[in-house]
Amino acid sequence: MPVITYRQALNDTLGEELARDPNVLLMGEEIGVFQGSYRVTEGLLAEFGPKRVVDTPIAEEGFVGVAIGAAMLGLRPVVEIMTINFILVAIDQIVNHASKIHYMFGGQVSVPLVIRTPSGGTGQLAATHSQSFENWFAYCPGLKVVAPATPYDAKGLLRTAIRDDDPVIFIESLALYDTKGEVPEDDDFVVPIGVAEVKRQGTDVTVVSYSRMTAIALQVAQRMEQEGISVEVVDLRSLRPLDRPTIIESVKKTNRAVVIAEDWYSYGVTAEIAATIQEEAFDYLDAPVYRVAGLEVPLPYAKDLSAASKPNANSLIYAIRQVMRGTKRMR
Amino acid sequence: MAEVAESAQPLLERATADELKHYYYQMLLLRRFEERASEMYVKAKIGGYCHLNLGEEATIVGLMAALTPDDYIFTNYREHGYIIARGVPPGPVMAELFGKETGVSGGRGGSMHLFDRKTNFMGGYAIVGGQVPLAVGAAYALRYQGKPGVVIAQMGDGTTNIGAFYESLNLAKIWKCPVLFFIVNNGYGMGTSVESGSSEPDLWKKGASFRVYGERVDGTDVLAVRDVVRRLRARAEAEGEPAIIDAVSFRFRGHSVIDADRYRDPEMVRRGRELYDPIRKFAALLLDHGVVDDTWLKSVADRVEREVQEAIDFANNSPDPKFEDLYKYMYATPVPNTPTAEDAIRAVKINRGEF
Ligand SMILES: Cc1ncc(C[n+]2csc(CCOP(=O)(O)OP(=O)(O)O)c2C)c(N)n1
Ligand SMILES: [Mg+2]
C-alpha cells in the first residue's frame, strides 16, 4: 500500500471529490493562487479552475455564511478556515445557522457543508494562533465534528464528510500534515462519522485521544510496552457524535483510563470523556480517570513556556504511571 | 487640494535639517532591524510567525512624526517598526521576538503581540481586523474622558474586507470618535492582491457610505505621510471627525519570513524594490538638497548597524521567563481557586519529564 502524508491524503481527496461531483467546490483564503497556507489545496486551482476553487477575501463571517446559503440550494462547499483561531469570526453563522437549519425548519432543507481547519499549536505561534476550539463545536447539536489522526482516516473521513448532508467541522493539525501512513490506492473506502477506532490493542490501560494526541499516544504506548505496561489506544476520530460504546468497552477491559487532548483542561473534551467513563463504567475502574490537557493560559510565546503549556509524551507517560499505581479492583 | 500645497513647499520649510536627518535615521533603523530579525528567524532565535515592515519604513516614520505623546496606537501583527518609531528602544523589541523576560510583552506575546504602555503603543493584534474596533473604543474613551489625543487604527489593505472594519467606521462616525483608520496598502494580503480582494480597490473611498472622509497618500514619501496624518489628526482631535488614510507602499518580501513569495513575479518584485524604496528615495532627496553628504549617510549606517547589533546582544543575554511565572499575568484582580506558582512548577516538571 502506498505511504503518503496526511497533507497528500487531504489533497488527493479534495481533488477526487471535485472530479466526482460538480456541486463540490472549495472556498477559502489563499487556497488557490497562494496554493494553500499549509499547501493542502496545492495544484487544485490549476486543475479545476476558479469556479471550483474559490479564493476569498479575508471575510470569514461572510464567506462561511455564503457557503451555508449555497449549501441550502444543493452546492456542497468545502470551506477552508486558515486556522481554527479565525473561525471565531464566523462562529455565529456556524452555530446559529448551519447547525440548526435542518432541525429548526422541520427537516425541509439540509446544509451539506464541510469546514476544514487545523487546530492546536506548534512552533511558538502564541496566544491567538495556537488554540483548540473543536470542543466548542462538539458542544453544539446539529454539527458533526471529526478529527482524524492518520492519513488513512483523513482520507476516509473527508470523503464521508463531503458526501454527508450535514455540516461537518473537519479538524486537522499543523503538526500532522507531514506525518505519513498507508493509504490504499484506487479504493473508494470511507471512514464513518461517529465511530471511534481502537488503534492499538492493550490490556492494562486505555488511552483515549484524537488527532495529534493519538499520534503521541501511539508512540507512548510503544515505549510503555518496554516498561511492561500494555496500553490500548482508542482514537475517537469523531467528537460529535461521540462513540461512547467503544470507549466504554475498552475501559471495561483494561479497568483504567487516561484521556488526553490538547485543549484547555476545564470544560474541555477530556471532561466529557471522563464523565462518560465514570457514568458508564464506574464499577470497572481500578483508579480514577486521569485527564491530560493544555495548561490554562493564553499560550505564552517564549519557547520553553510555550512547550510546557501543551500536553506531550511526558505528560501522558506520567498520567499512565499514575493510573497504574491505583490498586487492582477485586472482582 | 491640501496635499498639493503641502508637497509644493520647499523641503526646508517642511522640516528642519535635524528633523529630516532624524526621519532618515529612523527609517534606516527599521530597515536594519527587520533585516537582522529575518536573519535571527532563520537561526531559530525567533519562532512563530514573523512579519516584516520592509518597504513600509516611510509610512511608519511619517505616521509617528505626526503624532503627539497623547495619542494611542493599535496595529496589526506587522508592527516591529511602529513600536520602535514610537520610541521604544530596539533592545526590548528584539528581546520580545526572542521570547525573553526583558521583551516589551515579557516574552509572552512574541513578534505579533508587541505592547508598550509607556508610549501608548496599545498592541499588535494577530486576528485580522481585531485591532480596529479596539482603537475606536480607545477613541471613545478619550472623548468620554475629555482627554486630548487621537487613536490610530493601523491595518493592512486586506483587512478592509472584514466586517469589523465596517462596523467600526459606522460607530466611529456616529459617536464622533477621534480615530484615524490608517491603512498600510502594500498591495497584498498574503497572496491576494487588493484588486482581487476588494470590489473597491481605492481603499480611501471605503468610508463613503459612512460619511467617513478618506485620502490616499504615497506611503513611500515620509513627509507626505506625516503631513496628511497631521492634518487629519488635528481635525479628528478638534472635531471628533474620523478619517481613512490609504498609504500605498510596496511589500519587499513575502507575507512573513517563511513565505517564499512564489505568487508574485520575481522581476516585478525586483523592480518594485528599486522603484518604491522609501529610504533610497529619501537619501537622494536629502543629498540633492545638500542636507546631508555621503559621509553623514555612512555614519548613520554605522550607527544603525551598531544599535541593531546591541539589540541582538541584549536579547541574547536576556533571561527567559521563569516557569513559576507561567500564571503571573492571568488576572488583574486575584481571586481564589486560580493556579499558583507552585501549580506551574508542578505542571512544568511533568511536562518536561522531570518526575
Ligand atoms: C480573521 C483572520 N483571518 C485570517 C488570518 C490570516 N492572515 C494573517 S495576515 C493575513 C493577510 C492580511 O493582509 P493585510 O491586511 O493586507 O496586511 P499585511 O499582512 O499585508 O500587512 C491573513 C489572511 C488572520 N490572522 N485572521
Ligand atoms: Mg497588505
pLDDT in tens, B60-75: 999 999 999 999 999 9
Per-residue pLDDT of B126-155, as tens digits, reads: 999 999 999 999 999 999 999 999 999 999
**For residue B334, what are the CA distances in angstroms to A31, A173, B3, B200, B346?**
44, 35, 52, 48, 20
pLDDT band at B2 (very low <50, low <70, confident <90, very high): very low
* C-alpha to C-alpha distance for B331 and B352, rounded to whole angstroms: 26
- In total, the C-beta contacts within 8 angstroms joining chain A to chain B are 143
pLDDT score for A330: 42
Which candidate, A155, A147, A160, A168, places its Cα nearest to that of A68?
A168
> Partners of B218 in the beta sheet?
B248
Which chain A residues touch B127 with a CB distance below 8 Å?
85-86, 88-89, 128
In terms of CA atoms, which chain A residue is nearest residue B344?
Answer: A295
> How many Å lie between the alpha carbon of B112 and the closest alpha carbon of chain A?
8
Residue A239 region by backbone torsions, left for phi larger than 0, else alpha for psi between -120 and 50, else beta: alpha
- Cis peptide bond upstream of A241, omega within 30: yes
Grid coordinates belonging to A271: 471532561
Q: CB contact, 8 Å: B332 with chain A?
A: no
The domain ranges of chain B are 11-321, 323-355
Which chain A residues touch B105 with a CB distance below 8 Å?
301
Residues with CB under 6 A from ligand 1: A 29, 58, 60, 82, 86, 89; B 51, 78, 126-128, 155-159, 184, 186, 188-190, 255
Q: CB contact, 8 Å: B330 with chain A?
A: yes
- b/e map of B184-211 (b: 16 or more CB within 10 Å)? bbbbbbbbbbbeebbeeeebbebbeebe
Per-residue pLDDT of B302-355, as tens digits, reads: 999 999 999 999 999 999 999 999 999 999 999 999 999 999 999 999 999 999
What Rg, from alpha-carbon coordinates, does chain B have?
A: 21
Q: Which ligand is nearest to the CA of A59?
A: 1
Residue A79 is classified by DSSP as E
Residue of B97, B108, B331 to mutate, interface with A, max A Cβ within 10 Å: B108
Grid coordinates belonging to B294: 555621503
With the most atoms of ligand 1 within 8 angstroms of its CB, the residue from B255, B256, B263 to mutate is B255
Contact call for B326 and A300, based on CB within 8 A: yes
- Domain range B11-321, CATH architecture: 3-Layer(aba) Sandwich (3.40)
Secondary structure (3-state) at A150: coil
Q: What is the pLDDT along chain A (331 residues), one digit of tens a residue?
A: 999 999 999 999 999 999 999 999 999 999 999 999 999 999 999 999 999 999 999 999 999 999 999 999 999 999 999 999 999 999 999 999 999 999 999 999 999 999 999 999 988 999 999 999 999 999 999 999 999 999 999 999 999 999 999 999 999 999 999 999 999 998 999 999 999 999 999 999 999 999 999 999 999 999 999 999 999 999 999 999 999 999 999 999 999 999 999 999 999 999 999 999 999 999 999 999 999 999 999 999 999 999 999 999 999 999 999 999 975 444 3
Q: Which ligand is nearest to the CA of B126?
A: 1
Secondary structure (3-state) at A274: helix
> How many Å lie between the alpha carbon of A252 and the closest alpha carbon of chain B?
28
Grid coordinates belonging to B45: 532565535
- b/e map of A281-295 (b: 16 or more CB within 10 Å)? beebbbbebbbbbbb
Strand (E) or helix (H) holding A115: strand A114-118
Contact call for B99 and A303, based on CB within 8 A: yes
- Count other Cβ atoms within 10 Å, centred on residue A267: 13
> Partners of B214 in the beta sheet?
B244
Name all domains of chain A by residue range, CATH numbers in brackets. 3-182 (3.40.50.970), 197-324 (3.40.50.920)
Secondary structure (3-state) at A68: helix
Grid coordinates belonging to A64: 462561511
Q: Which of A59, A62, A297 sits opposite B330 (nearest CB)?
A: A297
**Cα–ligand 1 centroid distance for A31 (angstroms):** 14
Q: CB contact, 8 Å: B108 with chain A?
A: yes
Q: Which of residues 220-239 of B touch A (CB under 8 A)?
A: none
> How many Å lie between the alpha carbon of A331 and the closest alpha carbon of chain B?
32
Q: Which of A127, A296, A311 sits opposite B339 (nearest CB)?
A: A296
Per-residue pLDDT of A92-117, as tens digits, reads: 999 999 999 999 999 999 999 999 99
Residue of A265, A305, A310, A317 to mutate, interface with B, max B Cβ within 10 Å: A305
Which chain A residues touch B327 with a CB distance below 8 Å?
297
Contact call for B347 and A29, based on CB within 8 A: no
Q: Which of residues 8-37 of A touch B (CB under 8 A)?
A: 29-30, 33-35, 37
In terms of CA atoms, which chain A residue is nearest residue B355?
Answer: A318
- Count other Cβ atoms within 10 Å, centred on residue B293: 11
Q: Which of A29, A127, A297 sits opposite B113 (nearest CB)?
A: A127
Strand (E) or helix (H) holding A61: helix A60-72
Per-residue pLDDT of B85-115, as tens digits, reads: 999 999 999 999 999 999 999 999 999 999 9
The answer to whether B87 and B249 are in contact (CB under 8 A) is no
pLDDT score for B8: 77
> How many Å lie between the alpha carbon of B195 and the closest alpha carbon of chain A?
10
Query: What's the 3-state SS for B116-167?
Result: EHHHCEEEEECCCCCHHHHHHHHHHHHHHCCCCCCEEEEEECHHHHCHHHHH
The answer to whether A179 and A218 are in contact (CB under 8 A) is no
Mean pLDDT of all residues in chain B?
A: 97
**Using DSSP, how many helices (H) and how many strands (E) does chain A show?**
12, 14
* Residue numbers of A annotated as active site: 60, 129
pLDDT at B18 over 90: yes
> How many Å lie between the alpha carbon of B122 and the closest alpha carbon of chain A?
16
* C-alpha to C-alpha distance for A231 and A214, rounded to whole angstroms: 12
B223-241: average pLDDT = 98
pLDDT at B1 over 50: no
> Partners of B75 in the beta sheet?
B124
Which chain B residues touch A311 with a CB distance below 8 Å?
351
pLDDT score for B5: 61
Ligand 1 atom at minimal distance to the Cα of residue B130: 1
Q: Which of B112, B162, B262 sits opposite A59 (nearest CB)?
A: B162
Ligand 1 atom at minimal distance to the Cα of residue B127: 26
Q: Which of B127, B263, B323 sits opposite A128 (nearest CB)?
A: B127
Nearest CA to ligand 1 atom 2: B128
* φ, ψ at A99 (rounded to 5°): -75, -20
Statement: the pTM of the whole predicted model exceeds 0.90: yes
The answer to whether A263 and A239 are in contact (CB under 8 A) is no
* C-alpha to C-alpha distance for A77 and A234, rounded to whole angstroms: 31
With the most atoms of ligand 1 within 8 angstroms of its CB, the residue from A55, A64, A82 to mutate is A82
Query: What's the 3-state SS for chain B?
Result: CHHHHHHHCCHHHHCCHHHHHHHHHHHHHHHHHHHHHHHHHHCCCCCCCCCCCCCCHHHHHHHHHHCCCCCEEEEECCCHHHHHHCCCCHHHHHHHHCCCCCCCCCCCCCCCCCCEHHHCEEEEECCCCCHHHHHHHHHHHHHHCCCCCCEEEEEECHHHHCHHHHHHHHHHHHCCCCEEEEEEECCEECCEEHHHHCCCCCHHHHHHHHCCEEEEEECCCHHHHHHHHHHHHHHHHHHCCCEEEEEECCCCCCCCCCCCCCCCCHHHHHHHHHHCCHHHHHHHHHHHCCCCCHHHHHHHHHHHHHHHHHHHHHHHCCCCCCHHHCCCCCCCCCCCCCCCHHHHHHHHHHHCCCC
In terms of CA atoms, which chain A residue is nearest residue B190?
Answer: A30
Longest dimension (CA), chain B: 72
